[in-house]
Structure 1
Amino acid sequence: MIFLTMIARVADGLPLAASIQEDEQSGRDLQQYQSQAKRLLRKLNAQSPDRCMLEAGNMNFYYFIAQDVCCLCLCEASFPKKMAFGYLEDLHNEFYEQYGRRVPTVTRPYSFIEFGRSNM
């Protein structure tokens, strides 16, 4: 299951869109993971690998970078790697098609939050 998805500009880590799947059944607090995700996105740059998986306890962060946009998700460790990267690539393609030209010019965090509400 995917619990958290974020899209950010790689140049400066500015969050562009986000979506959190509340996990009421397990009682997981996703705030700490959201903070970790934001820190990770701020550390990425043009030299970062274009796809990566990072362990976070019993969860994994996956990210995919293309065209100065990073799509990141948080999944259970048992979630298939191939599915996570497939999701991120599809998400990137859809996001970039809709907002790609505007990404370099936005200055406010979550400028494309409406994308997160309908597409993630």
Structure 2
Amino acid sequence: MVRLTLIARTRDGLPLAEGLDADKEHEMYSYKSQAKGILKKMAASSSRPPERMSIESGPFTFHYLIDSDVVYLTLAEKAYPKKLAFQYLEELQSEFSRLYGGQIEAVTRPYAFIKFDTFIQKTKKLYLDTRTQRNIAKLNADIAEVHSIMTRNIQDVLGQGERLDRMTEMSNALSQDAKQFAVKAKDLYHQALFRKYLPLIILVAVALFVLIMKLAF
């Protein structure tokens, strides 16, 4: 069963449209974050990402295809047939390109084509039951292309970026701690200096006071 669908521009990860059941959004929050992480990695990559890939994440699998600088990504149960997942994405790609193909480059705001959710929901219903005659026919079609699609794990795809993020956070924290330590060390130095010369300051002050009193009388 298809649980989440996201369409975005590949070069910068700008989300263009999304299909997600509102009543299940809280359940899919972490997977939606992972989906955005996948898009972010694509946009940041210096090399061209594979045009099709499946990425396993716990009990689910992300499937995506890229066409004309647009990535069509969906999340389905791991047991859901890969063939149907990519057939679903191909239908979205065909209709989205027909409707908005000439507008994608000029878009600057996120979810500019959010109305496409209507087509996403309608198409998703056709792929809910893998046992329908329609879907069985698709499964019986040539699957050689599907077997050639690379499958990776979500940790392999996002792990390096997450480690870099953690290292950056640790570096920033250490830098902040070092600054705080420097300030405290400076304060302690001034306090130690004051305590060291306090008796001398008192002695000089008393001597000056006595001298002034003698001169006054």
TM-score normalized by the length of structure 1 = 0.91
Structure 2 partner of 1:29: 27
Distance 2:92 2:14 in 1: 17
Work out whether 1:88 is the aligned partner of 2:89: yes
Kindly report the root-mean-square deviation, in angstroms, between the aligned alpha carbons of the 2 structures: 1.7
The answer to which structure, 1 or 2, has the higher relative contact order (CA under 8 A, 6+ apart) is 1
SS at match of 2:111: coil
Whose helix proportion is higher, 1 or 2? 2
Distance 1:54 1:108 in 2: 28
Q: Kindly, what percent of the aligned residue pairs are identical?
A: 46
Q: Which runs of 5+ in 2 are unaligned?
A: 121-217
Distance 2:62 2:53 in 1: 8
C-alpha displacement at 1:22, in angstroms? 5.4
C-alpha displacement at 1:43, in angstroms? 1.5
Question: Would you say how many aligned residue pairs link Structure 1 and Structure 2?
Answer: 117
- Measured against aligned partners, the alpha-carbon deviations of 1:54-111 in whole angstroms (never above 9, x if no partner) come to 0000000000001101000000000000000111011011001100110001000100
Distance 2:15 2:23 in 1: 22
Structure 2 partner of 1:97: 98
- Whether contact under 8 Å (1:7, 1:72) holds in the other structure is yes
Q: Which runs of 5+ in 1 are unaligned?
A: none
Structure 1 partner of 2:75: 74
| Structure index of larger Rg | 2
C-alpha displacement at 1:23, in angstroms? 6.8
Alignment-mate amino acid for residue 40 of structure 1: I
C-alpha displacement at 1:21, in angstroms? 2.9
Whose strand proportion is higher, 1 or 2? 1
Distance 2:37 2:112 in 1: 19
